[in-house]
Every structure is written in structure tokens, then in C-alpha cells.
Amino acid sequence: MLEKLQECVEYGDKLGAEFVEARFDDLVLRTLNRINDNWKDVILRSRAGTGITCYYGGASGYSFTASEGKKELRETVSRAFKMAKAAAGAATIKLSFDRRPKIKSKKAEKFPVKIHPSTKDLTYKTDLVNRAVENAKEFGKKISNVTGLYGEMYGHKLFTNSEGSTVDWNFEVVDLRCLVTSKTESGALVNGVEGHGGTKGMEFFNTKGSTPEDIGEKAGTRAKEQLKARSCPAGKFRALVENRLVGVLAHESFGHLSEGDYIVVGGSPLTGKIGTRLGTEHATIVDHGTPNISKFGGLWVPYDDQGTKANKTIVLDKGVLKYYLHSRGTAQYLRQEPTGNCRAVHFGFIPIPRMTNTYFTPGDLTKEEALELLGTGVYAIQTAGGQVESDGSFLFKAIRGYWVEKGEIREPLREVALSGNILHLLSKVEGGTKDLRFSAGYFGGCGKSGQFPLPCGFGGPELVISEVTFGGKAK
């Protein structure tokens, strides 16, 4: 296939494109979904296709095809070139970039796992789900529904461009989750959720805390606890934010604002603020395509979809803005270096600046010290998603929480919503715990410009924040 991609690049060059990128994805996606005692979905997807970007006059034209025939590939290049040429006249901000020395990856680079998901049969994977669901039933109470999910995505990614670079690597992610819904005496429904995923081998599901039994037990136990939880009070409180939610905070509320395409057009409040203090010394945010996954978890993204090698980018350093996340075009426009952040959700989309693994770096507090520092407020745990607006206002959902008084956990809270403005929030970070944990997975993902769901990793320690707005029940 690499030769076909190279022919596409040559053809694009010949048509008159200033630069051409060609990529091919050949991925397998599997979803297993058990609801109570029935298997609702046993799904296998084969996703293969080619994407071509042609650059002309500072604009980009993109086209794609699922066909691998020479004629169809040529038509695809031609469409991309025609789009770029038609767009060039409208481009008043030109994101051209200089040629660089070509890069060449090893053949089929891959993250070393002991047991690759492709080596295990379907029965092995359905058994993981069964074990999680059955254990959830054991530990839950007043259950109205138990759902078990397993997902995996893996396969080959190829890239070449007009510089002659060739990138050849294997993407891989697995994920196991359990959701328990229980019914309270008053008829209200409450949830308990647990799951783990990322670039892992199947051996991961044999490790303590990540076994199907552990996942089922936690989901069941949490739903049971939620039966007696109350609504979070509405208002502004001190907060202790758990690792997974901290990761979403780093990704959604700050990471997106640091993406180069928003910066170039002035749409982000971080535009022109390099070197400016935005947060306390406890706020350091990093994006890294190849973190220490064996130790902390996460997603392995060694190259982006423009062929740029993964980077560790310190975006916010002890509260001071240092760098943005880039494609090659936004990097050159803003006179920074490419950061390996130009990604597409699949071959049907042009790559744009996106995150890889985004996280707050750890602090020096123990869990007990963090609770003591919190004093009285809300301990917000697990994530049900979040969203940020271009002015920095955000909303995040924690699946559950606890009301804490004088450093002691008092009572469980139902779903907790945290909101505010990220620039304000960063100035309220008082400290972090020592433990760094990443989350990633097959289910869910990041959405931007219609490209959803892109797998991303996110993480951090637990953070103590002096003031967060909680949506809930006002008196």
C-alpha cells in the first residue's frame, strides 16, 4: 500500500500541488455489549481507507476514499487538488510550511504488549464481559440494569508526503467497562460505573484493580452506595477533584484552548499569552504522545497524521503559558515547532490540531493531606464528560462525589456538575497529590469540528481547588 500512497503523492505533485500528504488506515474495531443476560452487540468493523491532503496557495484541500484501485486513488488526489486550488483564493491566512528533512519510522512500529488483542479469540473477550457483569450483580443492590462493554481497536497506519517521509506504525487500544443502574425506593434511577482501558495488552485485565471482577465489583458497589446519595448542593465550594476528572479538565477546558488552529485565528483566550502567568505554581499541563504507559496508563500515539513524531509539550509550566499544540501549518505561522498533534478521527477527515495524552503533573500531597487541605467542600469523582466554550467557560460532569467536612468524607453525592472559567480556575489550584494516573479507552473520545470520537488519553493527580461552581439544588 505504501507504493500506492507514494504514487498518490507523485500524482498530486504533478498536478501542481505545493505539498501532498497521503495516509492509509487499516483498522479493526470490535465492540461487545451485554445488557443483563443478553448480548445486544457482537460487532466487528473493518475500517480501511486513504486520505489525501493537497496544499496550494496557503489553503488545503482534502479528499478520501475506501477504494484501493489506482483509478479511484487518482480521482481522490484530483479532488483534493481541485478543492485546494479553489480554496486558495479565499485564504487570507495562509498556513503554508517549509519543507523539512524526511523522516522514516521503523517498519510497523508498535507498543510492546505481552498479549495483543488480535491473538485472543472472541470467547476470551466475551468471558471478560461476563465476569464483570456477574460480579456487578453480586455486589449491587436493587439493580434494574447491568451493562458490560468490551472494545478494541487496532491496526496499521501508513503515511508518506512530498518530502519522502514514510511512517508505518500500529495503533492499539482496549477497554472494559461495566455500568450498573439501580432503582431507589422512590423510583429514581442511580448509576455506578467502572472501567479501564488504553494501549494495553490483554494481560492488563489480569492485574489487580483492572480484572473483570474488580471492575464489576466497583460498578455494583458504587450503584449501591448511590441509592442513599443526595443531590449536590448548588453554589461555590472548595473541591478535591479525582484523577480522571482532573484529566478531563486538562483536556477539555485547557487543552482545546491551546490548540494551534484556535490560536492562529485569535479564537482562543490563550492567543498572544505565551509567557503570561495564568495559574498557580501547582498548575502544570503537558501533552505527550508517548508517556510512560506501562507505569501510568494512557494512549500510545508515536506519530500524528501529518507524520510528525510525538512530542512532550509543556503547555503550562507552573502556571505560566509556554507552548501551543500544533499542526505543521499552525506551528510555522506562530513560529513554534510542530508538536505531533495533527490528528484525524479516521480517513474521512482532514487532520487538525488535537491532543494526545493531556495531563496535570503531580504534586507532593498524600491523599490524607489533600483531604485535610480541602477542609470542607466537594470531592468530585469519575467523569461523565465535559465541554468548553471558546471564552474558557466549561462544564464537567462527575459521576459521583462526596460531601467532605473538616477533611473527613461525610456522605455520598449524586452526579456532580462543575462549572466556571478555566482561566479563573487555574488561579485557584492549591495543590496536587503525588499519584499520577492516566485514562484512555475505546469508548467515548474527543469531539472537535465534527470529528468524533477520537481516542485520547488524559490524567493527572487529585487536585485541590479553592473555588468551583457546583450546579445542584439551590435552597
Partner 1 sequence: MMEYENLKSELLSSVDTGLKYARTKDSKVEFELYLFYQRISKANIKQGVVEATDGIIEGNAVRASEKNRVSFASSSGISIDRIKRSINEAVASLKSVSIKDTRFKGFCEPKKPGKEGIFASEILNLGKEELINYAKDLVKDGLGFDNKILMAEANCEAEWGGFAIGNTLDLQQASRSTLNNCYVYCMAKDKEERRVGYEFDISRKSLIKTEGMGEKAAQKAINLLGARKLDKATVLPTVWKPIAAASYFYASLGQSTRGQPVVEKRSPLTDKINEQIANPNLTVIDDGQKPTGIMTAAVDAEGYPQQKNVIVDKGRLKQFMFDTYYARIYGTESTGNCSRGGGPFGATLPYETSPTISPRSIDISTGNKNIDDLIASIDGQAILITDAPIGIFHSNVSTGEFSVVAGSVFLIQNGTKKWPLQPVSVSGNFYKGFEKLLELGNDLTTTPFAIETPSLVFDGFSIVG
Near partner 1 in 86-125, by CB under 8 A: 86-93, 95, 121-123
Q: Does 468 bind partner 1 (CB under 8 A)?
A: no
Q: Does 16 bind partner 1 (CB under 8 A)?
A: no
Q: Of 110, 156, 235, 375, which lies in the binding site for partner 1, with binding defined by CB under 8 A?
A: 235
Backbone angles phi, psi at 185, to 5 degrees: -55, -35
Q: Of 14, 41, 276, 368, which lies in the binding site for partner 1, with binding defined by CB under 8 A?
A: 41
Q: Does 79 bind partner 1 (CB under 8 A)?
A: yes
Stretch that binds partner 1, among 153-161, 200-208, 318-326, 466-474 (CB under 8 A): 466-474
The single-letter code of the amino acid at 374 is L
Closest CB to partner 1 among residues 61, 340: 61
Left (φ > 0), alpha (ψ -120 to 50) or beta: where does 342 sit? beta
Q: Of 107, 208, 335, 475, which lies in the binding site for partner 1, with binding defined by CB under 8 A?
A: 475
The single-letter code of the amino acid at 257 is L
Map the footprint of partner 1 across residues 46-75, applying CB under 8 A: 46-49, 59-67, 75
Measure the CA–CA gap between 446 and 354, rounded to whole angstroms. 9
Map the footprint of partner 1 across residues 404-433, applying CB under 8 A: 414-415, 417, 419, 421
Can you tell me which residue has the cell 483531604? Answer: 371
Measure the CA–CA gap between 181 and 27, rounded to whole angstroms. 33
Q: Of 100, 119, 188, 294, which lies in the binding site for partner 1, with binding defined by CB under 8 A?
A: 188
Alpha helices in 164-311 (DSSP H): 212-226, 243-248, 260-264, 293-296
β-pair type (235-241, 377-388): parallel
Q: Of 134, 317, 395, 445, which lies in the binding site for partner 1, with binding defined by CB under 8 A?
A: 395
Q: Of 9, 17, 83, 286, which lies in the binding site for partner 1, with binding defined by CB under 8 A?
A: 83
Least Cβ distance, residue 146 to partner 1 (angstroms): 10
Q: Does 389 bind partner 1 (CB under 8 A)?
A: yes
Least Cβ distance, residue 374 to partner 1 (angstroms): 20
Measure the CA–CA gap between 316 and 279, rounded to whole angstroms. 8
Q: At what angle do helices 2-15 and 70-88 cross, to 10 degrees?
A: 40
Confirm if 182 and 141 have CB atoms less than 8 A apart. Answer: yes
Least Cβ distance, residue 33 to partner 1 (angstroms): 9
Measure the CA–CA gap between 461 and 435, rounded to whole angstroms. 5
Q: Does 367 bind partner 1 (CB under 8 A)?
A: no
Which residues make beta-bridge pairs with 175?
Answer: 151, 197
Map the footprint of partner 1 across residues 250-279, applying CB under 8 A: 261, 264-267, 269
Q: Does 473 bind partner 1 (CB under 8 A)?
A: yes
Stretch that binds partner 1, among 16-24, 180-188, 275-283, 307-315 (CB under 8 A): 180-188
Q: How many CB atoms lie within 10 A of CB 95?
A: 19
Q: Of 40, 114, 141, 406, which lies in the binding site for partner 1, with binding defined by CB under 8 A?
A: 40
**Cβ neighbours for 219, distance < 8 A, ≥ 6 positions apart:** 132, 136, 139, 140, 146, 178, 179, 180, 192, 193, 194
- Total residues binding partner 1 (CB under 8 A): 102
Q: Does 387 bind partner 1 (CB under 8 A)?
A: yes
Which residues make beta-bridge pairs with 178?
Answer: 148, 194
Q: How many CB atoms lie within 10 A of CB 231?
A: 11
Measure the CA–CA gap between 130 and 258, rounded to whole angstroms. 41
Confirm if 65 and 53 have CB atoms less than 8 A apart. Answer: no
Q: How far apart are the first and last CA of the chain?
A: 64
Closest CB to partner 1 among residues 418, 440: 418
Q: Does 231 bind partner 1 (CB under 8 A)?
A: yes
Q: Does 170 bind partner 1 (CB under 8 A)?
A: no
Q: Does 449 bind partner 1 (CB under 8 A)?
A: yes
Least Cβ distance, residue 290 to partner 1 (angstroms): 27
Stretch that binds partner 1, among 15-23, 98-106, 202-210, 448-456 (CB under 8 A): 448-456
Identify the three-state secondary structure at position 88. helix
> What would the x/- binding string for partner 1 be over residues 344 to 363, using CB under 8 A?
-xx-xxx-x-----------
Q: Does 391 bind partner 1 (CB under 8 A)?
A: yes
Q: Does 227 bind partner 1 (CB under 8 A)?
A: no
Map the footprint of partner 1 across residues 297-326, applying CB under 8 A: none
